[in-house]
Chains A and B, each alone.
Chain A
Amino acid sequence: MTSTSDTATPRSRKGVDGWRWTGRIFLTIMILYTALPMVWMLLTSIKSGFAAMQFPPQWWPTEPTLASYRKLLDPQNSVGQDFLRFFWNSLFVSFVTTVLAVVVAVPAAYAFSRFRFPGRKFLFFAVLLRNMFPAVIFLVPLFILMRVLGLVNTHGSLILTYLTFGLPLAIWLLKGFYDNIPIQLEQAARIDGATRFQAFLLIVTPLSVPGIIATAIYSFIGAWNEYIYAATFLTKNEQLTLPVGIQRFFSENTTDFPGLMAASFIMSVPVVVLFLVLQKYFVRALTEGAVKH
C-alpha cells in the first residue's frame, strides 16, 4: 500500500478495522457459548459429589478426583459392568450400521449421479424427503414391523432403522463426490476392457474414498447418538446403548452429577475424536455434496 492510497481511502480502512473487530468480538462470544458448557462438564466430572453441590460453587475443584471415571470404567463393580456393556453395545450397533450404510449408499449414490433412468429424479427426491419425517411417526409401526421380523430386543432392529434413516444424507453426500469424478474415466475404462461394474469398482471407487469416509463418519455419529428408537425397541438392560443406558441409570441416581458428567464425557469422546481426526473429509463432503448438490 502506498501512502496515496492510504490517504485516499481513510474511511474504508477504518470500516475494515471496524468489521474485523466486530468479527473478533462475535467469535469470542461464540467460543465462550460453545466451550463453557463443555469445560463445566469436565470440571464437574473431576469433582466429588459433595464438591459439586456447594454454594458458592468451586470454580476449580479443590480436590480433583477421577473417582467417577474409575467407577464407570471398572469392570469389577456393577455400575462399571453396565456402563462398559452399554459402551460396547453402542460401538457394535454404530459399527455395523456404518459398514452397511456404506455398502448400500455407494451404489445408490453412484446410480443417482451417473444414470439417467426414468424415475431417477423422483427417486432422488423421495430419498431426500425421507429426511422430513420425524422418528415418532415411525415408532409404533416400526415396533410392530420389528416384532413381525422377530427383531424386537435385538440390535438388528436398531441397525435396520439407523440404516434407513442415515441413508438419505449419506446418498446425498456421496452423490456430490461422484458428480465431481469425470465420466470420461469410466468411459476410458470400459473401452480399455472393463465392464461397467469393473469400471465402477476399479476406477471410481478408489477415487471416492474421501466421500466414503465422510459418509462413514456421518453414519457412525448418527447411530452413536440416536436415542428415541433405542429407547423404544430395547427393554432388556444388557442390550441398551449408551444414550438410553445413561438416561435409565441416572434417572435412578438423580444427584450423582459428577458421575453423569463423566458418563456424558466418555460418551462424547469417540465421536468427537473421530470427527476431529477426519473433519477435513467431512467438511469437504458437505462442500461438494450439499452445497453444489
Chain B
Amino acid sequence: MTTLAGHANAPRGSIPARPSILQQMWTSRADYLYVLPAIVVMLIVIAYPIYYTIELSFFKTPPGLQLRDKIFVGADNYTAILSSEVFWRVTINTVIWTLASTLIAFVLGYGAALALHRDFAGRAVLRAILIIPWVISAVAASYIWKWMYHSDFGIIGQVLVQFGFTDRQPNFIDNVHTVLPSLIVVNIWREFPFAMIMIMAGLQTVPEQLLRAARVDGASTWQRFWHVTFPHLRGVSTVTILLLAVANFNSFIIPWIMTGGGPSNASHIWITHIYELAFGRQRWGVAAAYSVLLFVILMALGYFYVRALSGNEKEQGA
C-alpha cells in the first residue's frame, strides 16, 4: 500500500523530451487567435510603411514626376541632409524643444501631483481643471495660444504693456528669438497634466506604513519625500519621462498650426521639417531619408524605453 518515491534526491523517472518552440506554438495556437486581429492591423499599417520608407530614402523624386517613377540615387539623400545647414538648425531646435518640454512638463506635473495628494475640499475640481488641457485638441490649444500671442491684440502682450513691463506689444511668435520658448510654453500647457496623472497614480502605490515608519523615525516632510516617496516613484518617473520625450520628439500640431516652422526655420523641428519637405516641396526621397534617421534615433530611445518598462516589470514582480 505504501508508495515509496524515495527521497527528493533519488534518481528521477525518465524525463520526456522537452517540446520544441514550434510544438509549443502549435499547442498554444488557439491563444494566438486573441491577438491575431491586433497583429494583422499592425502589420498592414506599420510594417509596410516602415519598409516603404527605407526603400524610398534611396531614391530621388523630382517634382512633376509620379512617385512610382523615382530614380535611384544611392546614399545621396543622406549626405545631402547631413551637410545641409537647415538640418543642424532643425536638430538643435528639436533637442531644445524635446528637453525643455519634457523636463518642465515633468517637474510641473510632479509638483501638481504632490500638491494634490493631500486631501482637501475641492481637490477633485482642481484636478479636473488641471487635466482639461491634455484632453482638448492640440489644434484648439494652438489657436487659443496663437490668439493670446497675437502681435496686435494678444492678451499677454497687452497685459505686459498695461503693467509697464514693455512699451510696445511684443511679437512672440514672429520673432526668431522668442518663438521657440513661446511654443514650448504651449506644449507644456498641454502635457504637464499627463505627468501629473502618472505621478498621482504612482503616489497611491507608496506604502502608507513606510511613510508612518519614517515619521516615527523622526523624518521631516522633505526627508519623507526624499527617502521614501521619491525612490518609490522612480519607476513611474522613468516611464513618464520617456513617454513625454517620445511624444515631444514626435510633436507636430503645435508648431505646424502656430508658425508652420517659421520665422526662418526658427521653430521647425524634425517632424514639421519632414512634413514640409514631403508634402510642401514634394521631396519625398529626402523626407524618407530624414525619417530613416529618425528611426535610428527613436530605436535608441526605444531601447531605453523597453529597458525601463521591463525593469519596472521586474520590480513589480509581475
B46 in contact with A138 (CB, 8 Å):
yes
B305 at the interface (CB under 8 A from A): yes
Give chain A nearest CB distance to B295 CB in angstroms: 7
A38 at the interface (CB under 8 A from B): yes
A224 in contact with B112 (CB, 8 Å):
no
Q: Which residue of A lies closest to B38 (CB)?
A: A108
Given contacts A107-B37, A118-B25, contact A257 B147 (CB under 8 A): yes
Q: Which residue of B lies closest to A125 (CB)?
A: B306
Measured between alpha carbons, how far is A246 from B140 in the docked complex, in Å? 9
A93 at the interface (CB under 8 A from B): no
Give chain B nearest CB distance to A198 CB in angstroms: 14
Measured between alpha carbons, how far is A257 from B114 in the docked complex, in Å? 37
B201 in contact with A272 (CB, 8 Å):
no
Measured between alpha carbons, how far is A155 from B239 in the docked complex, in Å? 34
B49 in contact with A138 (CB, 8 Å):
yes
Q: Which residues of B contact A137 (CB under 8 A)?
A: 49-50, 53, 274, 291, 294-295
Given contacts A130-B42, A132-B305, contact A140 B139 (CB under 8 A): no
B35 in contact with A271 (CB, 8 Å):
no
A56 at the interface (CB under 8 A from B): yes
A136 in contact with B271 (CB, 8 Å):
yes
Q: Which residues of A contact B205 (CB under 8 A)?
A: 291-292
Q: Which residue of A lies closest to B200 (CB)?
A: A283
Partner of A145, one of B44, B148, B249, B316: B44
Give the contact stretch, choosing among A20-28, A60-68, A181-189: A20-28
B137 in contact with A291 (CB, 8 Å):
no
B144 in contact with A246 (CB, 8 Å):
no
A293 in contact with B312 (CB, 8 Å):
yes
Give the contact stretch, choosing among B72-80, B123-131, B171-179: B123-131
A112 at the interface (CB under 8 A from B): yes
Q: Which residues of A contact B286 (CB under 8 A)?
A: none
Give chain B nearest CB distance to A205 CB in angstroms: 13
Q: How large is the interface on A (under 10, 10 to 19, 20 to 34, 35 or more residues)?
A: 35 or more
A72 at the interface (CB under 8 A from B): no
B14 at the interface (CB under 8 A from A): no
A15 in contact with B221 (CB, 8 Å):
yes
Q: Which residues of B contact A265 (CB under 8 A)?
A: 140
Chain A 113-150: CB-based contact to B (< 8 A → 1; otherwise 0): 00111110001011111111111111111101100000
A134 in contact with B52 (CB, 8 Å):
no
A16 in contact with B129 (CB, 8 Å):
no
B298 in contact with A34 (CB, 8 Å):
no
B34 in contact with A272 (CB, 8 Å):
no
Give chain A nearest CB distance to B275 CB in angstroms: 5
A105 at the interface (CB under 8 A from B): yes
Measured between alpha carbons, how far is A196 from B29 in the docked complex, in Å? 14
B189 in contact with A34 (CB, 8 Å):
yes
Given contacts A134-B294, A136-B275, A164-B41, contact A141 B48 (CB under 8 A): yes
Give chain B nearest CB distance to A142 CB in angstroms: 6
B302 in contact with A225 (CB, 8 Å):
no
Q: Which residues of A contact B271 (CB under 8 A)?
A: 134-136
B67 at the interface (CB under 8 A from A): yes
Nearest 9 CB-CB pairings of A with B: A111-B34, A141-B49, A134-B250, A225-B137, A141-B52, A287-B201, A264-B140, A23-B115, A243-B139
- Can you list 14 A-B pairs, Cβ within 8 angstroms, ordered by A? A15-B220, A15-B222, A23-B115, A52-B153, A107-B34, A144-B52, A163-B41, A167-B42, A247-B257, A267-B140, A268-B135, A283-B197, A286-B197, A291-B205
Known A-B contacts: A268-B135, A268-B140. Give 8 more (CB < 8 A): A12-B220, A108-B37, A119-B25, A125-B306, A126-B42, A227-B139, A257-B153, A272-B132
